[in-house]
Structure 1
């Protein structure tokens, strides 16, 4: 089922006020607690809501250096290399990609020397042909989903109004 306008309002609250209780969310939204819980359950079941844990800062954990490491892999070894990357704690994300490489990883490190050590370790993984590293200088747009959620909600609301005859009765 697609995300509708009420789902959008629920997701906005979850993003903006993550420590609020279900009862308080229901009060703010003006809906029954059971309705809210059913919506939350469906959003989780559909994979829209994927977690409820805290967001952590690698920099505050002593790893302020952020780099994106492109990894070229020997044909047929993508899964093996991917499994090996999962064992490297400094790799916080890894994706199969198209373009100039086979994998793109987001790597955090204590300092540039530590980053070099991590990269040297990556090169030793069987199946890794070469790496290319790009250092992040400053975060310009932090990870966010609220603008996307709001855009989806606006589209759903317009679609609902059109299906309802433009809101005329």
Structure 2
């Protein structure tokens, strides 16, 4: 994932492109251009800039771990020995069921998003995490149900309001 270090300014076309990419991800550049009433090259150059600036960080499909046989979702807080902090994330990345990890402020050092086939499998994954050199302790919270799924499109709406651009 690319992170933009500077703030990108958006115009009406940028925001319209972002909205289309989120709402119709499979449509393609030619269809976006048709819907926006601009040249295909214009849309392509906007997409290229948004990718370069880190606003768009990928075009891969979102896969469902649950539909792939991993219905258990847990968040694991990992306390790390500070002298091994740099190597622990690399070691944890070798665990395929660990699908995301962030260093955090607050309780723990790293917050991991982990999936498993069932609770017994989750226990085995957590045991593998605990046995990672440099991991001092873990605390696990099992998710019961997604109340607000991952989303970014509402942020496009905020930017549209802030810039005076309103989509229909």
- What's 2:71 paired with? 64
1:34 and 2:35 aligned: no
Q: CA offsets, 1:111-158, max 9 Å, x none?
A: 000000000111111110000000100001111100011111221237
User: Which is worse superposed, 3-12 or 125-134?
Assistant: 3-12
TM-score (norm 2): 0.91
Unmatched 5+ residue regions in structure 2? 1-7
Q: Which structure's relative contact order is higher, taking Cα pairs within 8 Å and 6+ residues apart?
A: 1
1:53 Cα deviation (Å)? 0.9
How many angstroms does 1:104 deviate by? 0.1
1:73 to 55, 67, 80: 80
* Higher gyration radius (CA): 1
Contact 1:74 1:127 in 2 (8 A): yes
Q: CA RMSD in A?
A: 1.0
User: What's the CA shift string for 1:21-67, capped at 9, x where partnerless?
Assistant: 21111110111212111111100111111111110000011000000
Equivalent position to 1:2, from 9, 25, 30: 9
Gaps of 5+ in 1: 159-169
**Is the 8 Å Cα contact of residues 5 and 154 (structure 1) preserved in structure 2?**
no
Q: Contact (CA 8 Å) 1:23, 1:33: kept in 2 or not?
A: yes
Q: How many residues are treated as equivalent by the alignment?
A: 158
CA distance in 2, matches of 1:131, 1:4: 45
| Distance in 1 (alpha carbons) for counterparts of 2:137 and 2:20 | 44
Kindly indicate whether the alpha-carbon contact (under 8 Å) linking 1:4 and 1:157 is maintained by their aligned counterparts in 2: no
Correspondence for 1:150 among 147, 157, 164: 157
Q: Does 1:90 align with 2:90?
A: no
Q: What secondary structure is seen at the aligned counterpart in 1 of 2:94?
A: coil
Instruction: Work out whether residues 69 and 107 of structure 1, in 8 Å CA contact, stay in contact via their aligned partners in 2.
Output: yes
Q: Which residue of 2 aligns with 1:135?
A: 142
Distance in 2 separating the partners of 1:38 and 1:30? 15
Asked if the contact 1:122–1:128 (Cα under 8 Å) also holds between the matched residues in 2, the reply is: yes
2:21 paired residue among 14, 21, 25: 14
